[in-house]
């Protein structure tokens, strides 16, 4: 098994409108889609579409959304043998608004995702025995994710944590992380300031590395990506693409990053893979459907634009 993803699986109910509503306001939208999502399963689908053997460990409910999302993920080439059907909790869902500038706001109802416990950790262990990269996020209980991170660390598996949704984390978490990949608001939740420039991102990365993360990648959205590790630092400028929907761009990034690491590419090249994967995801609507394929990623890396 190349890449193991321990995390969330959601059904996304997504509306498109000229702008995001203000509190108390009713807006007319353009359109609505129901598509599979969830930060964990989006990352798993990105990794599989980009060509790495990928297993996803998580939970769905015994309900219509669960019966729809699981086969979709499987059809993308993800090994879902580690997914459990939870009789006591509903499949998680996300209510998403996207505006004409491709910005989004998301509310998640966690359901089965937040029921992950030590039994799910145990289901993850066999896959970790032969994995190169573990992908984690924060839509499932932190305790379970950290147990998986510890097991991965003991097996020499590279641990990548996407600290999303944003929440402050204790230092013990950072010490189990090889690569931390916050976006701007997730960086602010850890360091107390919003990085707007590569210089801000460098300042934040130093703080996070001092707290225990081995490498830090700060995703600055349309402004590019800053990375820093003990081997050096760098900045990847953004790829030029037409943005229609930024939902799951960060998930595509982590899928691309993981596949490059799995293939033995050095960190600067892996960050470029992540940036290209994220850029492709913003060119089309929806979370999981927007995850990129290998051929288009290689084309973007070569030509710099789509």
Sheet holding 92-98, edge to edge: 31-37, 10-16, 92-98, 104-109
Closest distance between ligand RIB and the C-beta of residue 160, in Å? 15
Closest distance between ligand RIB and the C-beta of residue 37, in Å? 2
Among 12, 86, 162, 251, which one carries the catalytic annotation? 251
Closest distance between ligand RIB and the C-beta of residue 104, in Å? 8
Site of interaction with ligand RIB (CB under 6 A): 8, 10, 12, 37-39, 42, 94, 106, 108, 139, 247-248, 250-251, 287
In DSSP terms, 79 is beta-bridged to 55
Closest distance between ligand RIB and the C-beta of residue 250, in Å? 6
Torsion angle defined by CA atoms of residues 81, 35, 3 and 186, in that order, rounded to the nearest 10 degrees: -130
**CB nearer ligand RIB, residue 39 or residue 49:** 39
In DSSP terms, 264 is beta-bridged to none
Output the residue with the shortest Cβ distance to ligand RIB: 37
Closest distance between ligand RIB and the C-beta of residue 181, in Å? 12
**CB nearer ligand RIB, residue 132 or residue 137:** 137
Closest distance between ligand RIB and the C-beta of residue 9, in Å? 9
**CB nearer ligand RIB, residue 12 or residue 120:** 12
Q: Verify whether residue 120 is a known catalytic residue.
A: no
**CB nearer ligand RIB, residue 97 or residue 229:** 97
Nearest 5°: the CA angle 56, 181, 204 is: 160
**CB nearer ligand RIB, residue 139 or residue 228:** 139
The 3-class secondary structure across the chain, one letter per residue, is CCEEEECCCEEEEEEECCCCCCCCCCCCCCEEEEEEECHHHHHHHHHHHCCCCEEEEEEEECCHHHHHHHHHHHHCCCEEEEEEEECCCCCEEEEEEECCCCCEEEEEECHHHHHCCHHHHHHHHHHHCCCCEEEECCCCCHHHHHHHHHHHHHCCCEEEECCCCCCCCCHHHHCCCCEECCEHHHHHHHHCCCCCCHHHHHHHHHHHHHCCCCEEEEECHHHCEEEEECCEEEEECCCECCCCCCCCHHHHHHHHHHHHHHCCCCHHHHHHHHHHHHHHHCCCCCCHHHCCCHHHHHHHHHHCEC
**CB nearer ligand RIB, residue 10 or residue 132:** 10
Catalytic positions, written as ranges: 251
């Amino acid at each position: 098994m190349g890449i193991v993803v321990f995390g969330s699986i959601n059904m996304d109910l997504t509306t498109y409108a000229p702008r995001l509503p203000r509190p108390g306001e009713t807006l007319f939208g353009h359109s609505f889609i129901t598509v599979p999502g969830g930060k964990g399963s989006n990352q798993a689908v990105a990794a599989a579409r980009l060509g790495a053997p990928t297993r996803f460990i998580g939970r769905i409910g015994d309900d219509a959304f669960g019966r729809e999302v699981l086969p979709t993920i499987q059809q993308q080439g993800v090994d879902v043998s580690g997914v459990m059907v939870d009789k006591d909790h509903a499949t998680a869902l996300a209510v998403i608004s996207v505006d004409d500038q491709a910005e989004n706001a998301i509310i998640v109802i966690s359901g089965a995702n937040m029921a992950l416990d030590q039994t799910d950790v145990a289901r993850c262990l066999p896959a970790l025995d032969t994995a190169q990269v573990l992908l984690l996020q924060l839509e499932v209980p932190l305790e379970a994710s950290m147990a998986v991170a510890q097991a991965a660390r003991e097996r020499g598996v590279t641990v990548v944590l996407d600290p999303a949704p944003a929440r402050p984390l204790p230092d013990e978490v950072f010490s189990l992380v090889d690569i931390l990949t916050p976006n701007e608001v997730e960086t602010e939740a850890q360091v107390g300031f919003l990085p707007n420039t590569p210089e801000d991102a460098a300042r934040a990365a130093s703080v996070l590395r001092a707290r225990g993360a081995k490498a830090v990648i700060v995703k600055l959205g349309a402004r590019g990506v800053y990375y820093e590790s003990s081997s050096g630092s760098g900045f990847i400028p953004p790829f030029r693409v037409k943005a229609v929907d930024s939902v799951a761009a960060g998930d595509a990034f982590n899928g691309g990053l993981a596949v490059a690491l799995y293939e033995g590419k050095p960190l600067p090249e892996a960050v470029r893979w992540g940036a290209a994967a994220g850029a492709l995801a913003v060119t089309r609507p929806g979370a999981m459907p927007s995850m990129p394929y290998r051929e288009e990623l290689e084309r973007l890396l070569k030509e710099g634009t789509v």
